[in-house]
Structure 1
Amino acid sequence: MALSTAFTELFPVRHPIALAPMGGSAGGALTAAVSRAGGLGLLGSADGEPEWLAREVAVVRSSTDQPWGIGLLTWAIDRAAVDRALACEPHAIMFSFGDPTPFLDPVRRSSATLILQVTDLEEARRAIDLGADVIVAQGTEAGGHGSARGRSTLPFVPLVADLAGPIPVLAAGGIADGRGVAAALVLGAAGALIGTRFQATAESLADPATVKAILDGRGADTVRSTLLDVVRGSRWPSAYTARTLGHPHLDRWRGREPEAATDPQARLAYADDLAKGAIPPQPVWAGEAVDLITDVPSAADLVAAMARQAEEALTRFA
């Protein structure tokens, strides 16, 4: 059974699987590998830093002729970053976390497909009104940042799919294998956007220590908080909490997050531990499905396995 959906037909790609544009992990090699395997690779460009973008886009272009895209953090970019991304001629531009309105005109004038990620129903309605070509509905199980007022994937995706009508919706959050992809389709989505699982692949830019932590991690160990952004001095808006594996500074300030936000010693202690190597360079962003990640395959093998498992699951219950 071929898993043909509105998403696979739009680009077109063979499988209803997309790579989440994770900053620090989704570089050119991983993006290209997912696209070559029949999914949609999305480059994790974050703030659109010029040198990084140029280097990783060159890798993508030299490695695949299949559809691919670039993901940007809406709150962290300016118009110049969008123009740089579009100059790379991606098949898609994805905006996440913030109001994308100021950046839509250049995308509409280009040939790029507009993907908007949403984390609550208010954002979903806005994405529809703004004319998104694809909507990513991210549930709170997702690793990394998401809405502090969001809903879990299971109830959230059908609500967004019903609102979106003919607009393809990708489910995100808590999906790490083909069974999750199949579940997304049953919920009314046209595919799945997958992050944490792709961090543990041969082509990922994730630090080996991060990959090992993901392999050893458990969903029950993950915590959603703004604390690590506060003590790192990150500019992430407080409206977005982040799901990570456990961390010494989460333990240190548990129940006292407001105090950490105003105590200068919190940042100093974090910086000191970082300098001593007592904590990892970055928090380990990981979703609740981290328990399902037990190996480090190539991205091509992973996409093929997820597609096969999704087909088998849907056939078994048809």
Structure 2
Amino acid sequence: MALSTEFTELFGIRHPIVLAPMGGSAGGALAAAVSSNGGLGMLGAAFGDREWLDREARIVASRTDQPWGVGFLTWGIDAAAVERALEYGPCAVMLSFGDPSPYVELVREAGAVLIIQVTDLEEARQAVDLGADVIVAQGTEAGGHGARRGRSTLPFVPVVVDLAASVPVPVLAAGGIADGRGLAAALALGAAGAMIGSRFQATTEALVDPAITKAIIEGRGEDTERSSVLDIARGSRWPSKYPARTLGHLYLDRWRGREAELVEDPQVREDYQADVARGVIPPLPVWAGEAVDLITDLPSAADLVTTLANQAEIALARAGRR
């Protein structure tokens, strides 16, 4: 059974599987591996660092002749970052977390597919109004940053699917999807595919420290927590609307429920960096979603794409028999 959807037809790809553009860790090798094996690889360009973008875009462009894209943190970029990415000819640009409207025309003029990620219905309505070609509905189970008052993937995705149906716009499900059963569930909810992050963090091509990989493989869903504590403590500029889901952390235990106090204490930022330098805490939090329990190995991204697609086909066939 082929998993053909509006999304796979839009890009001419085999599988409705999309690599989440995880900032810094979804580099060229990982994106190329996903694209070359039938999914859609996305570079995690985050704030649009030019050196990183130039290096990783060249890698993906040289390693695959299949469609690939690039994703940005909308609140932290400027037009120059998008323009630079578009010079490398991505087939898609994804905008997440913030107002995407200043960059819509840039993407359109370049002929790239506009993907907008949304975390609540207000953002979803804006994405429809802006003419997004694809909408990503991110549930609160997702690793990394997301809505403080969002909805979980299961109820959120169908609502966005219904909202987008009048246009129509294909919707991808994101959040808590780490195997083919999750992909099958997304399709059953009416989504045209799934965007997957944490599972691709634990692949041989991901740009992550081995300690992060080990933590993800050994992590448990009940150990993840969505909080703004780590952003405040490390001096991150992330908007408070989007706290991050991570695995457990010393500073979470120390400051949980004391965020207002933490904001007013500049010494904490110095203490945090000192603890990083001494190896007391890792350089970065371990972003991980609630489905982290399902991540138990370190495959290549190429093998993972095939495995996810096969698992989804089996899950859908089994559900049909039942």
Pick the TM interval, shorter chain: over 0.9
Residue 170 of structure 1: aligned partner: 172
How far is the alpha carbon of 1:168 from its aligned partner? 0.6
Which of the numbers 283, 296, 299 marks the counterpart of 1:297?
Answer: 299
Q: Residues 213-270 of structure 1, C-alpha deviation per residue, up to 9 Å, x if partnerless?
A: 0011000000100110001000111110100000000001122121111112221221
Indicate the SS of the match to 1:192.
strand
Preserved contact between residue 45 and residue 71 of structure 2 (Cα < 8 Å): yes
Q: How many Å separate the matches in 2 of 1:283 and 1:134?
A: 29
CA RMSD of aligned residues (A): 0.6
Which of the numbers 248, 251, 264 marks the counterpart of 2:250?
Answer: 248
Task: Name the aligned partner's letter for residue 278 of structure 1.
Answer: V
Preserved contact between residue 161 and residue 191 of structure 2 (Cα < 8 Å): yes
Task: Name the aligned partner's letter for residue 119 of structure 1.
Answer: T
1:33 aligns with 2:33: yes
Residue 6 of structure 1: aligned partner: 6
Task: Name the aligned partner's letter for residue 78 of structure 1.
Answer: D
Residue 262 of structure 2: aligned partner: 260
Indicate the SS of the match to 2:146.
strand
How far is the alpha carbon of 1:61 from its aligned partner? 1.2
The TM-score normalised by the length of structure 2 is 0.98
For residues 273-292 of structure 1, the aligned pairs below 5 Å read 273-292=275-294
Indicate the SS of the match to 1:240.
coil
Q: How many Å separate the matches in 2 of 1:152 and 1:252?
A: 27
Residue 215 of structure 2: aligned partner: 213
How far is the alpha carbon of 1:191 from its aligned partner? 0.2
Residue 89 of structure 2: aligned partner: 89
- Out of 125-134 and 47-56, give the one that drifted further: 47-56
Q: How many Å separate the matches in 2 of 1:24 and 1:68?
A: 16
How far is the alpha carbon of 1:87 from its aligned partner? 1.0
Which of the numbers 298, 306, 309 marks the counterpart of 2:308?
Answer: 306
Q: Share of identical aligned residues, percent? A: 72
Q: How many Å separate the matches in 1 of 2:8 and 2:261?
A: 48
Q: How many Å separate the matches in 2 of 1:222 and 1:238?
A: 18
Indicate the SS of the match to 1:15.
coil
Residue 56 of structure 1: aligned partner: 56
The TM-score normalised by the length of structure 1 is 0.99
Q: Residues 107-161 of structure 1, C-alpha deviation per residue, up to 9 Å, x if partnerless?
A: 1111100000000000000000000000000000000000111100000000000
Preserved contact between residue 58 and residue 88 of structure 2 (Cα < 8 Å): no
Q: How many Å separate the matches in 2 of 1:158 and 1:255?
A: 33
1:135 aligns with 2:129: no
Preserved contact between residue 29 and residue 60 of structure 2 (Cα < 8 Å): yes
Q: How many Å separate the matches in 2 of 1:59 and 1:82?
A: 18
Unpaired runs of at least 5, structure 2: none
Q: How many Å separate the matches in 2 of 1:137 and 1:37?
A: 24
Task: Name the aligned partner's letter for residue 317 of structure 2.
Answer: T
Q: How many Å separate the matches in 2 of 1:214 and 1:83?
A: 34
Which of the numbers 235, 238, 243 marks the counterpart of 2:237?
Answer: 235
Q: How many Å separate the matches in 2 of 1:285 and 1:122?
A: 25
1:71 aligns with 2:100: no
Q: How many Å separate the matches in 1 of 2:224 and 2:267?
A: 25
1:316 aligns with 2:318: yes
Q: How many Å separate the matches in 2 of 1:253 and 1:109?
A: 46
Residue 125 of structure 2: aligned partner: 125
Indicate the SS of the match to 1:131.
coil
Q: How many Å separate the matches in 2 of 1:275 and 1:316?
A: 51
Task: Name the aligned partner's letter for residue 108 of structure 1.
Answer: R
Q: How many Å separate the matches in 2 of 1:87 and 1:272?
A: 39
Preserved contact between residue 96 and residue 116 of structure 2 (Cα < 8 Å): yes
For residues 180-219 of structure 1, the aligned pairs below 5 Å read 180-219=182-221
How far is the alpha carbon of 1:24 from its aligned partner? 2.3
How far is the alpha carbon of 1:180 from its aligned partner? 0.1
How far is the alpha carbon of 1:272 from its aligned partner? 1.4
Q: How many Å separate the matches in 1 of 2:156 and 2:135?
A: 12
Q: How many Å separate the matches in 2 of 1:8 and 1:281?
A: 37
Indicate the SS of the match to 2:243.
strand
Indicate the SS of the match to 1:7.
helix
Preserved contact between residue 61 and residue 88 of structure 2 (Cα < 8 Å): no
Task: Name the aligned partner's letter for residue 246 of structure 1.
Answer: G
How far is the alpha carbon of 1:25 from its aligned partner? 1.2
Indicate the SS of the match to 2:145.
strand
Task: Name the aligned partner's letter for residue 189 of structure 2.
Answer: L
Unpaired runs of at least 5, structure 1: none
Runs of 4 or more above 2 Å deviation: none
How far is the alpha carbon of 1:317 from its aligned partner? 1.3
Residue 16 of structure 2: aligned partner: 16
